Amino acid sequence: MVRLGLDTNRSPRDTNNMPLSDTQLRSLKPESKPRKLSDFEGLFLLVNPSGSRLWRFSYRFGGKQKLLALGAYPAVSLREARRAKDDARELLAKGMDPAHERKVAKARKRMAAANTFEAVANEWFDARKDGWVPSYSDRLKARLDADLIPYLGRRPIAEIEPVELLSTIRSIEGRGAPEMARRVLQMASAIFRYGVALGVCPRDPAADLRGALKSAPPAKRRSAILPKDLPQFMQDLAVYNGAAQTKLALELLIHTFVRTSEVRFARWSEFEDLEGEVALWRIPASRMKMRRDHLVPLTPQVVKILAEIKEAAGRSELLFPAPTRSGVISENTMIYAIYRMGYHGRATVHGFRSTASTVLNEQEFNRDWIELQLAHAEGDIRSVYNAAEWLSGRRTMMRWWSDHLDEVTKVKPEAASE
């Protein structure tokens, strides 16, 4: 049991037998030797010859006599010193050493100051960025630097309250971006959970904000060419008089229905057996949204398109080199071509993935083949993903799709509508 008692150490000399008063403290004068003026329950004021007047709390813990510094008078008043002494006695009553608890509190404070939101957020980002494709990593870093760090960066992560985080998220909503606000909140939550795992954050305040954000408006579907309009579009593309490189990029994308970035950044090293029977485009995991290699069976029509692209690309390692910042054709190159063809608001580049999916499902091709060809998440298919699974069936399906595109390109619009 911890024993609470008054200090029995009489050095320096104790010259007071009554509780202290403010009047007495204001009239104190230094003497040639240090002296101790006792209050009660172990609290005393040490008066030094230099004139300094220091509050001390004397107590015993673990069989040893100890002193706890409580500040200097008059910066710490008599009332404040007594309150600090009472707090220390409460800790003693619980079997805790006030001096040790103070050291722990100071260490926590130093740790909190070192573990700002910015420091923890950057550590979280560095720990995960290798698992993301560069484009996704860049987007997340941009959101972090623009929407979270300026508002929360210097704050100790352990001290950030839900209302503080909500204010930050509200500023994003205020610029008319509710969906972005939701995504930034998700990222903030991931950072706080990382802090919890590190032991520098007690909890995730983002969890308290569920239901506090504005509802996002219904998502707008990207315009896609309807199957009945595909013949007219393919005929218009066949006579497109813009840049040959752009036309070929669109043809490659429509025949393979991969994503725009996967066409733009394609390299010749990714293509296999172009002169054989099993031509293949192996898009590396580093360029795929789902971080796994994506195999695209290539039809004779696609091989022919690639030959034309090669002639235009020359010795470049890229299929579509261009004098842009990224070194390849711009992300807007193909969509602007579609606009020039008269399909503004009626078609998007990404929409061809939907068109192909619709047509192939109508033809009752295996749904898993279609989902794999679209490189959708594993949760969208009925078995564990295997890069080579159903490759033979998908090759048959892709051959039908290319043949279908050839067929509708030749069909008269009037006939297609009958």
Residue 143: in which H helix or E strand, if any? helix 134-143
Q: Does 289 participate in catalysis according to the annotation?
A: yes
Q: Does 294 participate in catalysis according to the annotation?
A: no
Q: Name the catalytic one among 82, 247, 353, 394.
A: 353
Asked whether 70 and 81 are in contact (CB, 8 A), the reply is yes
Q: Name the catalytic one among 183, 289, 310, 399.
A: 289
Q: Does 385 participate in catalysis according to the annotation?
A: yes
Q: Name the catalytic one among 53, 82, 259, 287.
A: 259
Residue 58: in which H helix or E strand, if any? strand 53-61
Considering only CA atoms, which of 162, 164, 149, 141 is closest in space to residue 117? 149
Q: Name the catalytic one among 183, 376, 399, 404.
A: 376
Q: Are strands 35-38 and 43-47 parallel, antiparallel or unpaired?
A: antiparallel
Cis before 74 (ω within 30): yes
Q: Does 376 participate in catalysis according to the annotation?
A: yes
Q: Name the catalytic one among 143, 385, 399, 404.
A: 385
Q: Name the catalytic one among 89, 155, 350, 399.
A: 350
Write 209-216 long-range contacts (CB < 8 A, 24+): 209/162, 209/165, 209/166, 209/169, 209/185, 212/166, 213/169, 213/173, 213/178, 213/181, 213/182, 213/185, 214/173, 214/178, 214/181, 215/178, 216/178, 216/179, 216/182
What is the Cα–Cα distance from 345 to 339, expressed in whole angstroms? 8
- Catalytic positions are 259, 289, 350, 353, 376, 385
